[in-house]
Structure 1
Amino acid sequence: MYRDLRISYELKKQIAKILQNDIHDTRINKFSNITDIVISKDFSYAKIFIILSYKEEKSKNKNNSLFYLNKTTEYIRYVLRKKINLRKIPKIKFFLDSSFKEGKYISDILNNLKIKKK
C-alpha cells in the first residue's frame, strides 16, 4: 500500500513537471492541474485526472485539450523512463476531473435547502 502511494505521488509530480517543461505543443495547456492518479495493481495502467484552466473550461476546448494530451502519452512515458526508475512505466490515459463541479453542485443544493428551511 505504501509503495503504491509513493509511486502514485512520484508519477503525479513528474508528469506535472513534464507537462510544464517538456511539452511544447501550444494546443496543450501547461498549467493543467493533476488532481489524482489511479494506478492498476500491476502498475501497467494509470488514469490521470486533470482540471483544465478556467479559460479552457469556458471556451469549450475541453475535448480538444484532452485529445491532444492523450496523443502525447507515449512521449510522456518516454520522458518518465528517464526520470523514474521503474521496471514498467504504466500506460497513461488522461480524464477530466469533474469532482469539483459535482461538489459545488451538491453544495449549492444543500445551501438552497437551508435557505428554504428558514
Structure 2
Amino acid sequence: MPKEFSRSQRVKEQIRRELAELIRLEVKDPRVGFITLTDVEITPDYAHAKVFFTSMKGEEGLSEILTGLRRASGFLRRELGRRIRIHTIPELHFHYDASVERGSRLSRLIDEVVRDDNARHTDDPED
C-alpha cells in the first residue's frame, strides 16, 4: 500500500497554505495584493523554498510584486516559524509562475480551432 503523502509534501503544502493566509491577511504592502500561490518546492534539508505565484494582473507590475514579496520575506519567514513546527524554516525565494497564463492561452487557441472546425463542417455541402 503506497504512502499517502511524504513528510516533505505535507510540509510544502502547509507552507503554501500558511504563506497564502499570511500574505492575504497580514502583509500590508499594496504591491502584494492580488497574487495566488501555486506551488512551493523545498530542498531536502528545508533550507530553501521556491514559492511560485501568479498575479491577477498577469505580468503587469511583476517587478513591484517581486519587490514587495522580497521585502516581506523576513516577516513571512518569522511568522512561518511561529506557525509551523519544523527544525529549519526555509529561506523564501519567490518566482512568477507563467504556466497558468500559458495554459489559458493554449485553451483559448484550442477552443478557436474547434469552433472553426465545427463551422467548417456545418458549412460543408457534402454532409
Is TM-score (shorter-chain normalized) higher than 0.5? yes
* Aligned structure 1 segments of 4 or more residues deviating by more than 6 angstroms: none
Q: Provide the secondary structure at the position in 1 that maps to 2:67.
A: helix
**Residue type matched to 1:25 in 2?**
D
Q: Unpaired runs of 5+ in structure 1?
A: none
Match for residue 47 of structure 2? 44
Pick closer, same or farther for the CA change 1:21–1:108 going to 2, 3 Å: closer
Structure whose alpha-carbon radius of gyration is higher: 2
Task: Give the share of equivalent positions with the same residue, in percent.
Answer: 22
Q: Quick one: distance in 1 between partners of 2:111 and 2:62?
A: 29
- Contact 2:58/2:101 (<8 A) preserved: no
Pairing 1:22–2:26 present: yes
Q: Provide the secondary structure at the position in 2 that maps to 1:27.
A: helix
Please list, as runs of the form range in 1=range in 2, the aligned pairs for 1:50-65 lying within 5 A after superposition. 50-53=53-56, 56-57=57-58, 60-65=60-65
Aligned-residue offset at 1:7: 0.2
Q: Quick one: distance in 2 between partners of 1:115 and 1:21?
A: 43
Match for residue 95 of structure 1? 95
Q: Unpaired runs of 5+ in structure 2?
A: 121-127
**Residue type matched to 1:42 in 2?**
D
Give TM-score, length-normalised by structure 1. 0.82
Match for residue 8 of structure 1? 12
Q: Quick one: distance in 2 between partners of 1:113 and 1:22?
A: 44
**Residue type matched to 2:106 in 1?**
I
Aligned-residue offset at 1:116: 6.0
Give TM-score, length-normalised by structure 2. 0.77
